[in-house]
Amino acid sequence: MSGQRRIAVVTDDAAALPQEWVFPPAGGTAGADVAGQDPERTEGAADASSVLTDEDERAVARSGRPGLAVAAMPVSVDDTDLDQDRDDWLAVVEEALAAGRSAVTSRPSPGQLLRQYRQLEAQGYEGIVSVHCSAQLSGSATSARIASAAVGIPVEIVDSRTIAMAEGRGVMEAWEAAGTGADLAETAEAARAGSAASQLLLWVPGLDALRRGGRIPPSVAALGSMLQVRPVLRLVNGQLAIAELPMTEQRARTRLLRRAGRALRDSTRDVPEVTVHHLLDDHGQERAEEFAAQLVAEHCPDARARCVPMPAVLAAHAGAGALSVIIRG
């Protein structure tokens, strides 16, 4: 193969990559990298916390953006593994959460990632940058390290230290860097910088789901449950941390709006970007659109906003009714 792409990118499906980016329109960049050069030398591997759906993954494998591979993160409801080939699997997870049932996610297996790595190696790629959601939230990066020992090309593991579209931004930056001829180290650095540039805020209706998943200390969960708080959380050093403990849903929404607005105003981008992740319940999309519209109107009218379903790995830990806001700095 000729051309400048030498590095492949792999990720888990927690990254929430925009569908219009994963599936470039006809006549767009599908089949070519951003520099207009040969796309067949550099791949990207992503995990499911980046919000790539199973449908996205199938399309990427079939005819989607060159140089991008996605590993699905298994999801189970009431100890039954979900078939992620079904179109409504994310809705099934969220319906289970709304009904108070247990939804659990797990890391991609090392064997699953190894198959992807070996396929990319066989296609002639010289290296792989494998971008994963925070190691504090998932063992996805650990599986990648195990798998990387069994391939004959170098694999650089990137713990994005974040999740959802914040992770997805790192994947996008890595893919674009690889398309300009970046080497392994440069592509990995693009992934780290892209992920670190976004702030993640999360509102959850309660702490039970986070406690069951081991994402917050039991003592904090017990206090929150006793006080019936509606916590606002932020991601700090790859971990979810409580930012505020409002007592009502309206106050929680106001606090989330205020914090997101501050981050949006502080953005150094010419056109600031905000992503609102929501659940697929009866009013999730509507709530997200209303929140995004108010956020932009009150704090940064020039900002670009999009509303995206929350990845299953984050939804399972956050619980029914959760809302997440990601500001690209």
pLDDT reported for residue 60: 35
pLDDT at residue 28 is higher than 50: no
Grade residue 114 by pLDDT with cuts at 50, 70 and 90.
Answer: very high
- Residues 56/64, Cβ–Cβ less than 8 Å: yes
Identify the weakest region by mean pLDDT among 32-41, 155-164, 296-305: 32-41
What pLDDT, on a 0 to 100 scale, did the predictor assign at position 229? 81
191 and 324 in a single domain? The answer is no
Residue 83 has pLDDT above 50, yes or no: yes
Express each pLDDT in 36-82 by its tens digit: 233 334 445 555 555 443 443 443 343 256 778 888 888 787 777 77
Q: Is the pLDDT of residue 291 over 90?
A: yes
Task: Determine the length of the chain.
Answer: 329
Domain count, the chain: 2
Q: Is residue 207 over pLDDT 60? A: yes
Q: Is residue 26 part of a domain?
A: no
Residue 303 near residue 271 (C-beta atoms within 8 A): yes
Confidence of residue 86 (pLDDT cuts 50, 70, 90): low
**Is the residue at 167 inside a domain?**
yes
Residue appearing with tokens 């993954």: 57
Kindly state the average pLDDT of the residues 228-241: 88
Please state, in angstroms and rounded to a whole number, the distance separating the CA atoms of residues 187 and 141.
Answer: 17
The answer on 111 and 215 residing in a single domain is no
> In this predicted structure, what is the pLDDT of residue 58?
41
Residues 207 and 95 in one domain: no
Helix (DSSP H) and strand (DSSP E) numbers for the chain: 12, 14
User: How far is Cα 193 from Cα 190, in angstroms, rounded to an integer?
Assistant: 5
Whether residues 127 and 189 fall in one domain: yes
Domain membership of residue 25 (yes or no) is no
Residues 6+ apart with CB under 8 A from 212: 102
pLDDT for position 34 = 24
**Which residue type, as a one-letter code, is found at position 91?**
A
In a domain, 287, yes or no: yes
What local confidence, expressed as pLDDT, does residue 183 receive?
96
pLDDT average, residue stretch 249-274: 94
Within a domain: 128: yes
Over 60: is that where the pLDDT of 145 sits? Answer: yes
Segment 177-186, tens digit of pLDDT: 999 999 999 9
Q: Report pLDDT for 206.
A: 75
Domain boundary among 167, 196, 225: 196
pLDDT at 311: 83
153, part of any domain? yes
Average pLDDT estimate for 93-119: 81
Q: Are residues 312 and 168 in the same domain?
A: no
Does residue 1 have a pLDDT over 60?
no
- One domain for residues 188 and 214: no
207 and 91 together in one domain? no
Query: Which of residues 161, 196, 231 is at a domain's end?
Result: 196
Which CATH number do you get for residue 109?
3.40.50.10170
Residue 30 lies in a domain: no
Provide the token pair at 261. 């607005």
Residue 106 sits in the same domain as residue 227: no
Averaged pLDDT for residues 76-101: 69
Mean pLDDT of the region 275-285: 82
Same domain for 12 and 132, yes or no, is: yes
pLDDT reading at 30 higher than 60: no
| Cβ proximity of 325 and 288 under 8 Å | no
> What DSSP designation does 79 have?
T
Q: Are residues 61 and 192 in the same domain?
A: yes
Regarding predicted confidence, which is higher, 50 or 200?
Answer: 200
**Whether 111 and 217 share a structural domain:** no
Say which CATH number the domain at 295 has. 3.30.1180.10
Query: Looking at 144, 175, 196, which one is the last position of a domain?
Result: 196
Residue 284 located in a structural domain: yes
Phi, psi of 6 (to 5 degrees): -125, -20
Q: Where are the beta strands (DSSP E) in 29-154?
A: 43-50, 68-71, 75-77, 80-81, 103-105, 127-132
Do residues 263 and 314 share a domain? yes
What domain range is 282 assigned to? Answer: 197-328
Q: What is the mean pLDDT of residues 193-222?
A: 80
